[in-house]
Amino acid sequence: MGYMDILMIIISLLGSDNAKPLMVDDPIVLMSLQELAHEISLAPSKYRADLISLGYNESRFGYRFAYEGKQIEKNGDCGVFQQRPRFANAGKTSCEKLQDPAEAVKQAVAYLRYVEKRWGSQWVKIKIKGKSTKVDIAICHYNSGNYCDDNRDKKLNKRDRSIRYALKHNSVRKLVELKHLFNEVAVN
């Protein structure tokens, strides 16, 4: 997945989310999205779909913040991937540094690797409305930290906020992978 493919996927995701064309077409916003797409394209291929999905779910790639000329910050979380500075880079980073797409992507990949190393990268089956669905446990922990079982009922289910987040992440990730496959087929 190259830089242009990633940029087109980002813009199409924002379009499907009813992002105002006036905002997305703004030169500052486009430059911000281009920088982000470039940095994601430099990340290991294993994490590219996850990074796109995380950027979309966490901050909609920060396009509104770029349009308004503000820092991407909400409830102490910073950057496109909404990371806490005290956890990113062992606390050696700041909210200002996480505004830079290169630093944000680097820290997001590092945290995903840490989560995979600590809790594994297996898929867990969750029953929802009688159907079995798989959830990536690493994404659940990316969102919630130590506990995926938010409500402490000793079951991973849809009542857990982090499981709902992981389900939303999976749907965007699948969409990204399908768009990439569609682009590959269209080119060939």
Residue-wise pLDDT for 90-101, tens only, equals: 667 888 888 999
Spatial CA neighbour of 61 closest among 27, 2, 21, 11: 11
The whole-number average pLDDT for the span 106-118 is: 90
Per-residue pLDDT tens over the stretch 10-52: 998 998 888 888 888 999 999 999 999 999 999 999 999 999 9
State percent of the chain over pLDDT 70.
93
> Does residue 161 contact residue 144 with C-beta atoms inside 8 Å?
yes
Residues facing 135 on adjacent strands? 124
Q: Report yes or no: 19 and 11 within 8 Å, Cβ to Cβ.
A: no
pLDDT beyond 60 at 186:
no
| Averaged confidence pLDDT in the chain | 85
Whole-structure pTM value: 0.86
Our measurement of the distance from residue 54's CA atom to the centroid of its chain's CA atoms, rounded to an integer in Å, reads 1
Q: Round to whole Å and give the CA distance between 119 and 162.
A: 15
Residue 166 has pLDDT above 90, yes or no: no
* Residue 134 pLDDT class (50, 70, 90 cuts): confident
pLDDT of residue 161: 80
The whole-angstrom separation of Cα 63 and Cα 165 is 21
Radius of gyration of the chain from its Cα atoms, rounded to whole angstroms: 17
Q: What's the pLDDT at 102?
A: 93
